[in-house]
Amino acid sequence: MTKLRSVTLNEKTQLLSELPILSGTIGPDVVDIQSLYQQTGMFTYDPGFTSTASCSSSITYIDGEKGILLYRGYPIEQLAEQCTFLEVCYLLLNGELPNADEIVQFESTITMHTMVHDQLTNFFKGFRRDAHPMAIMVAAVGALSAFYHDALDIKSKKDRDLSAIRLIAKVPTIVAMCHKYSTGLPFMYPQNKLSYVENFMRMMQGTPCDDFVPNPTLVKALDRILILHADHEQNASTSTVRLAGSSGANPYACITAGIACLWGAAHGGANEAVLAMLEEIGDVSNIAKFINKAKDKSDPFRLMGFGHRVYKNYDPRAKLMRETCHEVLTELGLHDDKIFKLALELERIALEDEYFIQKKLYPNVDYYSGIVLHALGIPSNMFTAMFAMGRTVGWIAHWDEMIADPEQKIGRPRQLYTGANKRDVPPQHIKRS
């Protein structure tokens, strides 16, 4: 790749004066470059989309410098403290918090869709018992579209709303089935008398042999964890859902694409990787060695749960997750938990280290979530599935917003081609007649 020249200031000013500057409600303005190629014969170049807005959206706003996260304008701190996950689902889907009647109706509708078609259980039987739950989730959620031919018209708002309800309601059931399948224990059917999180915890941890009594502190903690994971504007998996949806694919296929993308260790797979990293560090005395590995450019090791494309200040979710972690460990009498204490010390040391300060690397949402999920009795290979359970509402809200957006068209990025020039196939390869 060769660098031809830089755009000089007056050229740039001239160029930009031809391109509209658009302003949103809050946050950076954008240069509308839709006519750039037509005007200049050039593309923009932005691997990883570090400076590129792929869409306009009114769902979530992040200020990475100030560590601000708003869902439909409400600060995450207030939502996590004052709302339930289903209230936040309603907010993300509809743009406003529900009133007393609306939330009762919404909860009842979700409850009535928590069961999955019984034939879906057959999909599990094709997997080995030690299959990673995310592999099974990709299959099972993708398969949902095979059962719901009745409401796949993406141009119908009614169909889109029903798909959103079905996904929010059924993903927890599928997540719990993934866990039960790996243990050889029977699947648990949802119970309509239980709340969303109580139902999930019973399907995950209950058996047909006992009455499951949910612990209210743990239920509240998990409800908050789902709120913290519900949405995060145009992250990799949400952008994947939008790109898949832009082709007209059905919502189940699009959410499946998001689940697959979330699985990566640089994204939603980080929570599982954080716990593995803490267990590998093992003791406070080893922290310095791992901090040095993370700083060593020749070593691919990164401090999992640290850093973020957008947050160059503390991820507000990490603070709330640390509080929840402490509450759960105290409730369970695990406040002396070795892993939690190791995580606190690693965080303290990293935040005082010049490398992390200079590169603005702070703990992100995944840093403490693994510890609290572990304390809640969730196996580490289920952590990303839990992330997907929380994020399903964000994915489907963005998918719905995109389908309804009059500006939306199939996503089709261009490239900077660095391959071979046009050339002819050598004679020796030309088929002899």
Q: Are 229 and 251 in contact (CB under 8 A)?
A: no
**Active-site hit among 132, 308, 374, 398:** 308
Binding mask 306-325 toward ligand SDX (x if CB under 6 A, else -) reads: xxxxx---------------
Q: For residues 99 and 227, what is the distance between their CA atoms, to the nearest angstrom?
A: 18
CB of residue 257 to ligand SDX, shortest distance in Å: 15
User: Among 133-141, 174-182, 248-256, 303-311, which window interacts with ligand SDX (CB under 6 A)?
Assistant: 303-311
Count of residues interacting with ligand SDX (CB under 6 A):
22
Binding mask 178-217 toward ligand SDX (x if CB under 6 A, else -) reads: ----------------------------------------
CB of residue 388 to ligand SDX, shortest distance in Å: 11
Tell me which of 110, 255, 361, 403 binds ligand SDX, using CB under 6 A: 361
**Active-site hit among 366, 374, 398, 400:** 366
Q: For residues 180 and 162, what is the distance between their CA atoms, to the nearest angstrom?
A: 27
Binding mask 229-248 toward ligand SDX (x if CB under 6 A, else -) reads: ---x--x-------------
Which of 17, 61, 23, 55 has the alpha carbon at shortest distance from 36? Answer: 17
Here the tokens at position 211 are 């009455």
Cβ within 8 Å of residue 96, ≥6 positions away: 72
User: Among 164-172, 183-191, 299-307, 335-343, which window interacts with ligand SDX (CB under 6 A)?
Assistant: 299-307
Active site residue 308: yes
CB of residue 426 to ligand SDX, shortest distance in Å: 41
List, as own/partner pairs, every contact residues 307-312 make where C-beta atoms lie below 8 angstroms and the sequence separation is at least 24, other chains included: 307/359, 307/361, 307/362, 307/364, 308/64, 308/362, 308/364, 309/48, 309/50, 310/62, 310/64, 311/62, 311/64, 311/67, 311/362, 311/364, 312/64, 312/65, 312/360, 312/362
Burial classification of residue 394, based on how many CB atoms lie within 10 Å of its CB (0-12 exposed, 13-18 middle, 19 or more buried): buried
113 binds ligand SDX per the rule CB under 6 A = no
Q: Give the interface with ligand SDX as residue ranges (CB under 6 A).
A: 48, 232, 235, 266-268, 270, 294, 302-310, 359, 361, 364-366
